[in-house]
Structure 1
């Protein structure tokens, strides 16, 4: 991994990665969404992106990546060198043994290419959480213990005696990242010497304090000698500012639906959003960590974000309705990255 250092906002070598929410667009299917995700991953590999992550969400009509480990295998099997992983697996939903076996299998199939990003949120509503058979103590409070159990399956103590073993999994070096939107995971990843990814693409308010907590409390480990922080950024690039802003209305409608407690597929872009002043203020705040516009506009916005955060890596989310426009956005971003 690249060590953390002082960021000046113009870093041609900062890695850029993709967080794909496998959007199911209005009128399409999960099958089409998953085909599009693989197509995007293949293009991303060609354009030089570092990693391609998918996230665990359940009971959401607009997201096709609920079986996250299966989707990772689909993406890794259709590419050859880009790192593929989870952004993230919601560990309270699962037995640590099952996750160790799943990612041990993925690493065995695609050696040196698998990342295991972990979160402690349910990734769903309470009713869905119940359907996932999350019992007492599965509310995220025991996340450090579950994480310890998971890591022990990969690297058990030599004097552990009789024990349950993760096969495949045992002895494999799979990078573990902690994901978060508050100080909890920042402090835990610092104490354990693990890389940290902050979900600033949807929860930007605590970004800078969380990065300070992580860097200030970091303890070197076998996994990492120096802190390594990745931040989520919404990036939508088009040939003009006006076109990019219109493309962004699909993602804005998605956030509006969440505010209004609705679910649905990703909507087509619109010329004008129908929102209240209060809703607009909420969305403006939620999209603080975003770069939306023409290549020159996005370049300036990203330079400012890097200057403010000194991030070691950015992971980009782009909920764009039209697949060709989504490909074009990531292609333009790759060109910006090469020229920064």
Structure 2
């Protein structure tokens, strides 16, 4: 039988989350919703300037997705680098807890952290110190790491480390995996215009973007036009449009996925990552486009009901139960 393993490669990070006002964010001269690289000291300055108590949870875009796959009951693996410190222990313990196989390199450098400022509209703006997560050596990324992998999820933020990005996609392809790329942030796309089209054409099978990322990548604000350009040279193209749901292109057919209706979001941290978890789980396990998209929408909704990207186990139980209820046959 073919494997249905989903392997992710990306930054092993710990999320530090703070609820704050728009004014607080404005004082930091930070554009809402994006990601900025900072030093550990700069992170601490921001934390000190806030009167709020931070919430600390494991994070990292690809890791969030892969932990979601594990929590859904899928076969999953995560490749990354951590520090030999308490934060690194917290991170690795969580990976095992979610039934995910960790393939981690260890360094003396502290484990990377993402400080997320969550404003009253539930949007998060990220300040990232990659720490040890940036030290993964491209030469150490081999096709063996992607053995028995159906889908290899490559974190979009690796575009800031182009040697590692190329090593990852080449190793995944050599292993025979489909390569999924989540564009991660409009700032990532804007900084990578010189490499992205060729990278997608040569290596990417599944391209995932939200509205801002799609506009940066395609130059199109119109959803139909953006999705059409996203679909060029790939097998699956995904355009997520927030509270309005998502669109999935495959075999010249567009499937619209309705959003899950319910409570207002508490925090959108991990919304796209967990959407990808549900969708990729579905594709890897032979579910239809519509069923895979619905599962993604459900995971994306539920993670917005909590602070951080870790859905509580009792909610995962509910989601796992609906997989059988909503998808009685493949």
TM-score normalised over the length of structure 1: 0.32
Q: Choose 1 or 2 for highest CA Rg.
A: 1
TM-score normalised over the length of structure 2: 0.33
Greater percentage in strand: 2
Larger RCO (alpha carbons 8 Å, 6+ apart): 1
